[in-house]
Chain A
């Protein structure tokens, strides 16, 4: 009798989802599905709104990366009004945005991902969380993590009013500059943040890479997929979270295409499947070939590892060193190891913190000239940033009064939908043998998607949004077991 394993809700991720795993008569995996189980409909209910309100509405897509939606939305609004914002406004937005990346990456690594390694996937589920992690690292380190991530939130709230659901970025710039006192406070925090970013990478090396069990996992075929990768780069091909061109590399690491964000529709299409609320974006010019990897399949991946792969490096000194160490560890120019997303995330955090130091130490950051008033008739605009979880596209059309008529969003996590689905299937096939599946195995399967830091809240913008996860095991169409975790 064939079986299905359901893990529900999948946990330690932002949103609602479940995993179904199908077994044959011998209890080996024949198929699996990574399902997102909700939707909210932002693209629909933003129609009819004044476009300048969207930078305040769109962040509500996601409380973990509201800053990314705030930025992409503001940039789309700038484009709708065909307006160039003052340099001081751009710098302030960049300062805000790097703080945002830092908050999100630290949150994911320490609160959501690290517990799979410390105390570990084989620890009891009740300990596999940030509190269990702190029991091992000590309360002082725990408090340090909280404090530094708190700094990242603080910087965002100083600039944008509030870190969760920022408000200050509007078409033409920002609603207010920062004061000298605020700038001094940010400067001080930035140095501690940069130092802790280095400590975090060291922790990763000491606790995970130095442990053969985890090192083998990272290198294991169970967690490898050879796909295309996408990321935003500056004029020198280095990673840029706020602005630039979109670069895509193929599974061999060769450039496939580099395009202007406003031309995204020439390169990306989205497929609908009836068994999930989340669409599957793919490279139009390669085509949809099903849920498979390789050069013939249009599936691409985004987020930290993809950005590293798609770029030629980092524009800051310490992050560049960390970048080089990363590629020399894998001894290759393109890394397909899904668990390496975690390491890449910490390298990006170091880059973000170096940028925060640089921008906050520049005297121009308190320049009050942070706004221009739009004068052109509004029409159509596309705003793209690298969200913590990958490239984020906002595309708006308005009538002549600036009232929104059409919205299209391609969020980061959706672009990893196929990647996550494949990763879960490969992990399940390699780990579940003859029906044997214990809690530690199921957690290792969850690790396959958790590496992507999936944000199903974001993903479900079009959906009714939710994603803790459930794994079901099915055999001959019958559910033989749902995973119970005790």
Chain B
């Protein structure tokens, strides 16, 4: 029998959903453990960070890294695992694009701290105490990892070989990744660097509501709780913002099938540069009063402006990766 390969699974700024998604493979988990030894997995196993330091460089075959990068510890873990691993996979939307916590990039550390530790209704903090990196106590110094001003994606911090998107990656997508890992265990084969392990086209290409789509304009934006949603008709046809046209396929349309619109967790589709700008540019022209010929600018803007939250709608999972970020970091 061939030697088993070594896999590490790590979480950084994450919710744990990516780890649970692996457990949700159920019996297929044993397919992984039959070809691989899991040498580091903090959520489920008792190996400690010290163990990682002891491994030789490149002695771990594959690291599945989930979560975004916000603290000094996240960054150190990413750098350490990169050094110890032959292959680094960004696993899940947070590692790939920053994910939901990436929305915090519209503010900074101070904004987050003031809100969490002072302004929230149940916080009682008259002395303005905030977490600190070093706190001296009689018996010794207590340390915390530092908190950066912004969220980073994994590939903004270390070199990444492959991307597995999804919040969390779905069953089929994870199996696809497992097949790749099995191929590697078998004969050392790997796909082209930078491959995104998911579909290629926009989600609409696999959506079963696709044939209800017409090319007409959207005259009025409706929010999902404001109307009874027809389960067979394209959300955009019903005036409900759906990120399907700007989002990579491969998720199995689970949200759509639950009668809720796509919010973009698989990131931009192939050949789309930036999810948010693609969406804004499209809706900028598609959401109109529907008059033929010539529309005065003020008329056209009105329905578009009823989209109350462009940032949280178009960049819900990808703000740290967005081109507007650069401006934001420069202070708007």
Report which of A276, A474, A478 forms a contact with B131, defined as CB distance below 8 A.
Answer: A276
Report which of A44, A153, A272 forms a contact with B104, defined as CB distance below 8 A.
Answer: A44
A9 touches B45 (CB 8 A): no
In the assembled complex, which residues on chain B have CB atoms less than 8 Å from the CB atom of A60?
15, 17, 99-101, 167
A35 touches B120 (CB 8 A): no
State whether A37 and B167 are in contact (beta carbons under 8 Å apart), knowing that A66-B17, A270-B122, A477-B139 are contacts in the complex.
Answer: no
In the assembled complex, which residues on chain A have CB atoms less than 8 Å from the CB atom of B117?
272, 279, 462
Distance from A132 Cβ to chain B, minimum over Cβ atoms (Å)? 9
Report which of B49, B73, B111, B254 forms a contact with A38, defined as CB distance below 8 A.
Answer: B73
Q: Within residues 1 to 51 of chain B, which ones have a CB less than 8 A from any CB in chain A?
A: 11-21, 23-24, 26-27, 29, 33, 42-51
Question: Whole-angstrom distance between the alpha carbons of A13 and B11 in the complex?
Answer: 12
Interface size class, chain A: 35 or more
Question: Whole-angstrom distance between the alpha carbons of A111 and B44 in the complex?
Answer: 7
Is A342's CB within 8 Å of the partner chain B?
A: no
Q: Of B79-87, B204-212, B258-266, B282-290, which stretch is located at the interface?
A: B258-266
Is A377's CB within 8 Å of the partner chain B?
A: no
In the assembled complex, which residues on chain B have CB atoms less than 8 Å from the CB atom of A273?
129, 131
Cβ contacts B130-143/A at 8 Å (1 or 0 each):
11100101011110
Smallest CB gap from B312: residue in A = A49
Count residues on chain B whose CB falls below 8 Å from chain A CBs: 88
Is B248's CB within 8 Å of the partner chain A?
A: no
In the assembled complex, which residues on chain A have CB atoms less than 8 Å from the CB atom of B74?
38, 464, 466
State whether A12 and B15 are in contact (beta carbons under 8 Å apart), knowing that A38-B70, A43-B116, A270-B123 are contacts in the complex.
Answer: no
Is B121's CB within 8 Å of the partner chain A?
A: yes
Report which of A162, A168, A474 forms a contact with B259, defined as CB distance below 8 A.
Answer: A168
Is A395's CB within 8 Å of the partner chain B?
A: yes
Is B112's CB within 8 Å of the partner chain A?
A: yes
Is B124's CB within 8 Å of the partner chain A?
A: yes
Q: Of A50-58, A224-232, A356-364, A384-392, which stretch is located at the interface?
A: A50-58
Report which of B116, B140, B225, B309 forms a contact with A403, defined as CB distance below 8 A.
Answer: B309
Report which of A8, A31, A129, A168 forms a contact with B139, defined as CB distance below 8 A.
Answer: A31
Query: Among A7, A81, A457, which residue has the most Cβ atoms of chain B within 10 A?
Result: A457
A41 touches B101 (CB 8 A): yes
Is B297's CB within 8 Å of the partner chain A?
A: no
In the assembled complex, which residues on chain B have CB atoms less than 8 Å from the CB atom of A31?
137, 139
A131 touches B33 (CB 8 A): yes
In the assembled complex, which residues on chain B have CB atoms less than 8 Å from the CB atom of A175?
224, 229, 258-260
In the assembled complex, which residues on chain A have CB atoms less than 8 Å from the CB atom of B308?
50, 401, 403
Is A291's CB within 8 Å of the partner chain B?
A: no
Q: Within residues 351 to 369 of chain A, which ones have a CB less than 8 A from any CB in chain B?
A: none
Question: Whole-angstrom distance between the alpha carbons of A22 and B137 in the complex?
Answer: 10
Cβ contacts B50-66/A at 8 Å (1 or 0 each):
11000000000000000
- For the complex with contacts A43-B115, A175-B224, A464-B147, 8 further pairs of A-B residues with Cβ separation under 8 Å are A22-B139, A31-B139, A44-B115, A53-B312, A57-B100, A60-B17, A161-B257, A270-B120
8 A-B pairs with C-beta separation under 8 A: A56-B263, A63-B18, A112-B44, A146-B29, A273-B129, A457-B14, A463-B116, A470-B48
